[in-house]
Amino acid sequence: MAKQKPIPIGMYFIFVAFSLNLMSVAALLPMANATPENPTCVELGTCMFANDPLNVMLKPFDTIFGGLSLIIFWSLVIGILWLRTENPQLVGVVGVVMCAAYMSAISAGTMPAATVEFNTGLGVGGVLLAVSLGISIYHLITSRIHAGVQ
């Protein structure tokens, strides 16, 4: 029996892009049934896409996911990175860099203030980072203890 060739990493990005397109169509369907008293800028076509493309793109998804749409999209990227590399340090560094970039954008005023959901996710991420650092330090110490004299 021949060994199957692994799926190239580019195919995962194609899958993510296709699923995001499906999700955007699914996100616009509930918005099409909104009442005339409360239309959104996506329905009216008045969103300032050129001024703020990220938030305009996230607006339909925020109606479904609340404040977690950005976290869900980045978790897909981190998940694909983990599946392809299986390197916890690389995934941790990329996650910390993404979170730091988002937090610096919030403090600079280019992004709206962090939602309660994002702050909760940030706390969970901090706990996971602390646990992973503790495990790494534990393994470094025990490997040096059991290594013997060189």
Domain count, the chain: 2
User: Is the whole model's pTM more than 0.75, yes or no?
Assistant: no
CA distance 34 to 28: 10
Contact 57, 87 (CB under 8 A): no
**pLDDT score for 31:** 54
Query: What is the pLDDT averaged over residues 19-44?
Result: 62
CA distance 70 to 60: 12
Name the more confident of 28 and 127.
127
In the predicted model, is pLDDT for residue 131 greater than 70?
A: yes
Q: Is residue 54 located within the same domain as residue 81? A: no
Query: What is the pLDDT averaged over residues 51-69?
Result: 75
Name the more confident of 128 and 134.
134
Residue at 1 is within a domain = no
Show the domain range for 24: 6-66
**pLDDT score for 107:** 74
